[in-house]
Structure 1
Amino acid sequence: MKIGIVANITKESVMEVVAAFIKKLKQNNIDYFLTNSLHETKDKIKIAIDDDFVVDDNELYQLSEIIISFGGDGTMLATAFNAHKYDKPVLGINLGKLGFLVEADVSQLDVVFDAIKNKNYTIEERMIIEGDCTDYKCEKMIAINDLVIDKGGWPKMIELTVWVDEEYVTTFTADGLIVATPTGSTGYSISVGGPIVNPQADVITLSPISPHSLTVRPIVLPSSSEIVIKADSLHKDLKVNCDGQRSYSFPPPMEIKVRKSEKSLKLVHTSLTTYFETLRKKLLWGIDTRYSNKGNKK
């Protein structure tokens, strides 16, 4: 087995955690690869690193069988975006704040290692969406969590028109629109009133951002839908961002076509937790804080 290690080196104590994990890999004769950024900070982790294990990012994703991401949800999203290009599974270890997307916290590192070593895990596939700007030349926009069209630096609202499978849906004014996967339903989408969607559901959600209407509500669509969104503004440009990490600017009016990607994201899933347990622990979903823990089933 060959393990690729990606880490957010800005996180406090991440180097010590990576060092401990590398030590376990060496003790069990498991091959691994490190990104150049980790190699450049090897003096901080107080461990000898053979240069043969250091590769550039593309090689790491290409050569590894499993990619392990050390950091928070942002690190996990960035790692997953790169890993999906090579159809490689990802496992996240949380050193951040919420850690909703990751598989385990750093305190569970030993258990995670044993699961990987003994191949006691499953590969879970998650939907990815992609967007194409029909008016301007642009690379294909890939989103694991969400694709967001927003007003950018303009203080006023923008006009949005939506079609689904060539059928006109509606036109409304708002600060923007979130197109989310089930995985992304608990991200930006939930903050604007979007629904929580089980990641195994095969749907896409549209959630308006601060619409200027009480009747414009989030909607859930089949993943087979082809969604066309036209955005117009009096400002010089409109913004489209994917997962809050990759941003694009287009002069208005612009039209974007969104659909389910043929490729899926592969996540390594152990028996450490379940989706609903994560909802309860991370988002306190369904927990009535008026009662003690005795009143809430575990």
Structure 2
Amino acid sequence: MIYGLTGNPHKEELWPLLDRVIRVLDTRELPYRLAPELANGRAERNMAVQEGCVAPSVNDVGRQANVVFSFGGDGTLLRTAHAVSPSDTPLVGVNIGRLGFLADVEHNQVSRAVDALERGDYRISSRMVLEVDAAGRNLGRNWALNECVINRSGAAGLLRIAVTVNEEPLNTYWADGLIFSTPTGSTAYSLSAGGPILMPETGVVIITPIAAHTLSVRPVVLPATATIHAEVRNPERPYVFAVDGVSTEFKEPAISFTVRRAAHSVNLVKLDGSHVFNTLRRKLMWGARSSASSDNEPPEDASQNH
């Protein structure tokens, strides 16, 4: 198996971790390829000279490797997914960020991850993505693993966004914006705006309003077969359309944004014990108790006293 190594070169935590990974791969005589920004960063730090080796660098890590390690946070893994696509090369997200729902392999688990990959002791989680179009305008990215978002661009006042699903009117939203999320993105921006948590391999699309004017307006879950059209109808009010964090500003209304399931998917490597329930409990601290609250817990046999 050939390993591709990429990540966020602006995180100082990356470099000692990258060296540890390279030592593991070299010791086990496993071939690997470095993304150019990592190879250049090592050269600038004289790491390759000190170790007496120069790691091979390739521009297209996704096509030159059988699996790609992405060192950083969820944002880094999103960038890696877009860089690797349309290759179906599976990705391993190694978390050196904060929360890490996508990058769910912790930095001290990399050796175990390599062992598991060599044994074939892993599974591939295929994640649906959303194809987006803005009437032919350049959006920077044309598909989203997490979400695409219509949002205000610093101007006061709400946006009026008309949405149809399969050519059937759904609602005209008055809100700060709308989030169109995949199940993978349900634990990202959509969650912070009150959207539901979905199992990542579910075939659905979530529409989550951002600070809607009417409290009765709630998130809507649609089947993955839905074709969604959204149109901002405020004249001369700037807004942005963001695709996995890459934003494009628009000033003209009546642009029809189309969101639908894309033909391709993104493959993530999942190791034994990395079930989504474990990630939710750990990252969201479900079931965690403070020392103060635990003092007030009823005894375990309290139910027997009724």
TM over 0.5: yes
Aligned partner letter, 1:137:
R
Which residue in 2 is equivalent to 1:264?
265
Q: In the comparison of the two structures, how many residue pairs are matched?
A: 289
Aligned partner letter, 2:7:
A
Which residue in 1 is equivalent to 2:304?
none
Measured against aligned partners, the alpha-carbon deviations of 1:77-103 in whole angstroms (never above 9, x if no partner) come to 111122231111100111111111113
Give the 3 Å change call, closer, same or farther, for CA 114–154 of structure 1 in structure 2. same
Measured against aligned partners, the alpha-carbon deviations of 1:37-85 in whole angstroms (never above 9, x if no partner) come to 112222434434436x1112xx212111101001111111111122231
Give the 3 Å change call, closer, same or farther, for CA 202–285 of structure 1 in structure 2. farther
Q: For the residues of structure 2 that align with 1:291 and 1:183, how far apart are their CA atoms?
A: 33
Which residue in 2 is equivalent to 1:243?
244
1:93 matched to 2:94? The reply is yes
Tell me the secondary structure at the aligned position of residue 67 of structure 1: strand
Question: What pairs up with 1:216-235 in 2 under 5 angstroms?
Answer: 216-235=217-236
Deviates further, 109-118 or 271-280 = 109-118
Which residue in 2 is equivalent to 1:29?
29
Tell me the secondary structure at the aligned position of residue 233 of structure 1: coil
Q: For the residues of structure 2 that align with 1:220 and 1:285, how far apart are their CA atoms?
A: 24
Aligned partner letter, 2:168:
E
Q: For the residues of structure 2 that align with 1:258 and 1:13, how far apart are their CA atoms?
A: 37
Which residue in 2 is equivalent to 1:274?
275
Deviates further, 63-72 or 110-119 = 110-119
Give the drift of 1:223: 0.4
Aligned partner letter, 1:82:
A
The structure having more radius of gyration, on CA atoms, is 2
- Give yes or no for contact 2:61–2:84 (8 Å, CA) kept in 1: no
Tell me the secondary structure at the aligned position of residue 205 of structure 1: strand
1:55 matched to 2:79? The reply is no
The unaligned stretches of length 5 or more in structure 2 are 299-306
- Give yes or no for contact 1:104–1:272 (8 Å, CA) kept in 2: no
- Give yes or no for contact 2:146–2:182 (8 Å, CA) kept in 1: yes
Give the 3 Å change call, closer, same or farther, for CA 262–144 of structure 1 in structure 2. same
Percent of pairs identical after alignment?
A: 34
Give the drift of 1:236: 4.8
Tell me the secondary structure at the aligned position of residue 54 of structure 1: coil
Question: What pairs up with 1:177-256 in 2 under 5 angstroms?
Answer: 177-244=178-245, 246-250=246-250, 251-256=252-257
Tell me the secondary structure at the aligned position of residue 264 of structure 2: coil
- Give yes or no for contact 1:205–1:218 (8 Å, CA) kept in 2: yes
Tell me the secondary structure at the aligned position of residue 128 of structure 1: strand
Q: TM-score, normalised by structure 2?
A: 0.89
1:159 matched to 2:163? The reply is no
Question: What pairs up with 1:116-155 in 2 under 5 angstroms?
Answer: 116-134=117-135, 136-138=136-138, 141-155=142-156
Please tell me the root mean square deviation across aligned C-alpha atoms, in Å. Answer: 1.9
Give the 3 Å change call, closer, same or farther, for CA 19–267 of structure 1 in structure 2. same
Q: For the residues of structure 2 that align with 1:66 and 1:235, how far apart are their CA atoms?
A: 47
Q: For the residues of structure 2 that align with 1:284 and 1:207, how far apart are their CA atoms?
A: 24
Aligned partner letter, 2:113:
V
Q: For the residues of structure 2 that align with 1:33 and 1:23, how far apart are their CA atoms?
A: 13
Measured against aligned partners, the alpha-carbon deviations of 1:219-240 in whole angstroms (never above 9, x if no partner) come to 0000000011111224453211
The unaligned stretches of length 5 or more in structure 1 are none
Which residue in 1 is equivalent to 2:169?
168
Q: For the residues of structure 2 that align with 1:49 and 1:165, how far apart are their CA atoms?
A: 57
Give the 3 Å change call, closer, same or farther, for CA 291–203 of structure 1 in structure 2. farther
Aligned partner letter, 1:220:
V
Q: For the residues of structure 1 that align with 2:79 and 2:112, how far apart are their CA atoms?
A: 24
